[in-house]
Structure 1
């Protein structure tokens, strides 16, 4: 597994929690940007304004690219191109092998939402309130849609011709990915700026501060909602049977996908990171506890913990037993 800390990025054996390597920077934090794994290279942003390409086997630097502000956006790699946003209001496309700039597009404000590519188009949102669709080869604007509120780290999910995203005003939007026309919007109870929708088997899963929602992805109708007094602070991670979600009070909760009932819950540390679940294990950074944890998905039994000596609000990326790369819900890689 790969996960970031305050000024270090780690590779950890997901089976036993043993350290493989650590990559360090002098001034910066890897707490926000989720890495993308491609051809044995990790691409990850840092608050020191650099995008780093790291050898995933050795933890050595291959190249780095400087922007003008912190990088909180997660990374997406497609067609030999690294896509990401920066707090300098720009969205970047780099050559994967060399780190050379292919193009950049200037939005109206920070780009901390993470990109996703579908077909020839790359999609991202900005804190200027717009969702953007750009030609991934040239950076030319195809369309943009204004919602009137910032997105922060909420990132889009694309299924078929539909793009789903949420923002601070508490709305979930379903937008036609080809035209930028609104299909529907649904008002939830509070801000969705930190939660990215996940779509599976025709249902949409998302959190606002107070509840986890299961919605019909076609109509936007709510199937059920599960309340949480601790304030949800992450996107839900959804697999075949369960939903895993974390709250700002530090409650890690695994929920039955069909009923919305809680299977188990553990308190680890406030403001901990998004979880990833695969191979029957839930992996999560423990916020200010300075640990990374692995729990049994079935009953919450702790399998191992790794001391990072750093705040761990970064979300992990896992290569599971089948060799599949598993990304957190806020990363475009989940699609």
Structure 2
């Protein structure tokens, strides 16, 4: 028995009957020889961490565009926070922590530059629309490794696809990530909004803080416990009272931060920038070589979208400046 087989034996002996055992994976699109050390889900986690799209997350906006200061969240730090919250829940429920971590780390790989403002802009101009969770799956299936993709297991791809809207993931591990994503972003966005001076803790309605707590740590702890305490029977959920307060906190954040004209003032520039770049990149002569292959196979609009969605905020701005701003003007 090698290390992987021993790990899978431990999974069978110790994990919940509801857990997705790595030995029972539905597999990959392209069969591979098993690793002697790592389970399939551990290999997926490692492939995601080492891929280019994961590294680019460090320079993609979470909420505040190009903030002044080193302590604001980026798409990468958000991803790491989601992974830690999700792993805590999975371990408490004796579910597969490796699968949960892999889904968490891959859930935002397809996110656009400029946060949800970039996603909305691409959704408006791409025929058929644009959704970052679908693009995340496209990244791991088709765009990484020069078109070969990462060849991840079906369970990881399913969890990535269903981490935010619509149908639930097929595994409980994937459903945990949906909760962990919301728990993470609502609470770290409160923290960032306070840092930016657009929100004070005291503004959060007392009915919410009385139940969930008056600090980031207290709220995360309360929400994580609400999931763990109410998910012992093969379902992932919170108790109704906590879920209602959580939903009210989400609504409050949309009113006070996500639609705040001060916090989001720069976002009005995003649709124009995205549209201009998209129009420019629809010309295959303006695409890099790996995107020209996409253009030939699926059309120039699809290739332009893939290239644009993969950009960091800084790269998109620099490309725009290089194309449209005379070099002499950029020194003013």
Per the shorter chain, which TM-score range? under 0.3
Higher helix share: 2
**TM-score normalized by the length of structure 1:** 0.24
**TM-score normalized by the length of structure 2:** 0.25
Structure label with greater radius of gyration? 2
